[in-house]
Amino acid sequence: MKVKNGILKGELKVKGGKLIKCTLELDEGKIKRIKITGDFFMYPEDAIEKLEKALQGIQFDEKEISRKVKEALNGVELIGATMEDFVDVIINVG
């Protein structure tokens, strides 16, 4: 996977019609900032901020991103999206 620096955006229409959007800033192959939005639901609601914080500073690598998403969303109730959907939208920004 070729890693670019700068601000990257992506979106994913998931099964069932929900939309997940991701904007992230990469610096030297690491996620400097990330914002995830969309019309999905999760409980507790602050889990999205927990996920974004967990992803900051990590290498832009599918295995690492997948591991952090699963850790951050463990025990979180997701409605309209899956953990894998979040990994997909992050990995496919550009």
Q: pLDDT (tens digit, 9 = 90+) per residue, 44-65?
A: 999 999 999 999 999 999 999 9
Give mean pLDDT, residues 35-42. Answer: 95
State the CATH number of the domain containing residue 63: 3.30.390.50
Kindly report the pTM of this predicted structure.
0.92
Task: Supply the range of the domain harboring residue 20.
Answer: 6-91
Residue 1 is assigned to a structural domain of this protein = no
Question: How many domains does one find in the chain?
Answer: 1
For the chain, how many residues are written? 94
Structure tokens at 11: 């979106």
Structure tokens at 67: 């591991």
Strand ranges (E), the chain: 6-13, 19-27, 30-38, 41-43, 77-79
